[in-house]
Amino acid sequence: MRVGLRPEDVTLLLPTEVAPLSSARNYLAGTIVRVTPATPANRVVVDVGFPLVATVTARSVVDLGLAEGMPITAAFKASAVHLIGPAAPAG
């Protein structure tokens, strides 16, 4: 069984921020490995033990100072997780 998360369901927080009161209760600490400008939102790849992609606005990239190599915390709601069935057997 695998799980999937849509990038727009992932929220990024600076590790120094106190977690806001929110219904998003799942937090993964990681490191930004890539920030890719795109329209309408930028794609941020975070290494949390696996590559996790978040989409954020250009303003959020600037306001949070998002850059490759910086620590970041990714948050998401449990209801955003999608279960994906097992992969087909090889061969």
CB 70 within 8 A of CB 30: no
The 10s digit of each residue's pLDDT in 64-79 is 999 999 999 999 988 8
Domain that holds residue 12: 2-79
Which stretch of 12-16, 28-32, 56-60 has the lowest confidence by average pLDDT? 12-16
The domain that holds 24 is classified in CATH as 2.40.50.100
14: Cβ contacts below 8 Å, ≥ 6 apart = 64, 72, 73
Binned at pLDDT 50, 70 and 90, residue 19 comes out as low
Write down the pTM of the prediction: 0.84
* Domains of the chain: total: 1
